[in-house]
Structure 1
Amino acid sequence: MTLQDPTQTPLAPTPAPDLDSFGGTPATWIVFTVLTFALGGLLYPVVTTLLSGMLFPAQANGSLITRGGTVIGSELIGQPFSGDRYFIGRISAAGTGYDPTAASGSNLAGSNPALRERVQADSASIARREGVTPDQIPADLVTASGSGLDPHISPEGAALQVRRVARARGLSETQVQTAVRDATEGGVIGEPRVNVLRLNLALDALKPGTGS
């Protein structure tokens, strides 16, 4: 316990703040709150939405890809592909349909037995499909992205599938490799990556035995 020095003057209590000292009455603060809500909560979102729609219409609407007026997918969300004619994307942790409402990772640690068993099984399946050994398979082909919706694979993951796709389509490997290069994004900002949907659509437009 600290004894107070009787020679010192006791400190005066701190007075309660006066609203008027802050430059306004309660009515002023209510008006300020309403204006802030109107500007930040209504006007700003409306203006930015309109501007983005005018300046970046494709991106503002989800980077959708259409064919014949029908939306067939988005450049931002993976799709399931099967069969030797198509490049296969990454595994989806959001279900087999790349459900965007279930975007998430698996949250399984690298030491989790279930994850190891799944990776081993997928590695064996991909090795049989591509005619390679499991140690030749890039990691992205047997792992899911953080969102579980990644539409890209690595250039190495695409290169592994070139021979199979070329043989199934009656195309030369050079044709397929050119399509892979055309569908490759990034390189300056971020790692190079191949958009699987764009790549498969480009291949569907090619004719066997020709360069177009």
Structure 2
Amino acid sequence: MKTHLSPALRLTLVMLVLLAIIYPLLVAGISRLAPGGGQGETVVVNGKVVGYSRIGQAFTEDRYFNSRPSAVEYNAAGSAGSNKGPSNPDYLTTVQARIDTFLVHNPGVQKADIPAELVTASGSGLDPDLSPVAARIQVARIANVRGISVEKLNQLVDSHTEGPLLGLFGPARVNVLRLNVSLDELK
């Protein structure tokens, strides 16, 4: 028994030190190299933190680019999707209500032209980005409310569009918080 118990205990201790101490310290050390030093990228305006660039926020006023809907009301402590399938009647009612609201606030847009991301929540409920198409479809509304030219707003969207990671992975995207902060800075 001693021949089996002793190696098992030593292996358990080695794995405990490796996986409970060394690995977490290694990951924490590597995170210090990331933007924000592992604490997330904060967006600061006039010396005040207005949000985190990688966590979605609610923007529903007509003068701002609307963000993607959230199934958890943008609560970062409870990241989750709705877990309702595309044939669920409650889900379909929610999506239809979002479509109707979008069409009321964006006259001239056809239902078929609305990107799905503007009426469906992401899996995490905290998606901070939109596609450039989803941002551009809102330009006419914002131009009308703010009295800014459509061309200037399209340039703003273009300047905030990030390409795929390494030019290969994922779609192009626009961070809604950073876009809206820049929108407020326009004169």
TM-score by length of 1: 0.77
Residues 80-89 or 30-39, more deviating: 30-39
Compute the displacement of 1:18 (Å): 7.5
**Distance 1:118-1:47 versus aligned 2 partners, 3 A rule:** closer
The answer to which structure, 1 or 2, has the higher relative contact order (CA under 8 A, 6+ apart) is 2
Q: Cα RMSD over matched residues?
A: 2.1
TM-score by length of 2: 0.87
Compute the displacement of 1:153 (Å): 1.5
Residue 111 in 1 paired to residue 87 in 2? yes
Counterpart AA for 1:200: N
Alpha-carbon distance in 2 for matches of 1:148, 1:64: 19
Aligned partner of 2:175 among 184, 192, 195: 195
Q: Which runs of 5+ in 1 are unaligned?
A: 1-16, 208-212
Aligned counterpart, 1:67: 45
Aligned length: 183
**Distance 1:118-1:181 versus aligned 2 partners, 3 A rule:** same
Q: Which runs of 5+ in 2 are unaligned?
A: none
Alpha-carbon distance in 1 for matches of 2:112, 2:120: 14
Alpha-carbon distance in 2 for matches of 1:57, 1:127: 38
Aligned counterpart, 2:29: 50
User: Could you tell me whether the CA contact under 8 Å between 2:60 and 2:67 is conserved in 1?
Assistant: no
Q: Percent identity?
A: 40
Aligned counterpart, 2:78: 102
Secondary structure of the corresponding residue to residue 84 of structure 2: coil
> Which has the higher Rg, Structure 1 or Structure 2?
1
Per-residue Cα deviation, 1:160-191 (whole angstroms, up to 9, x for no partner): 11011122222111111111112212332211
Counterpart AA for 1:205: E
Per-residue Cα deviation, 1:10-49 (whole angstroms, up to 9, x for no partner): xxxxxxx882xx8xx72x6544533432233213322331
Counterpart AA for 2:28: T
Aligned partner of 1:88 among 63, 66, 81: 66
Alpha-carbon distance in 2 for matches of 1:71, 1:158: 24
Aligned partner of 2:150 among 162, 173, 177: 173
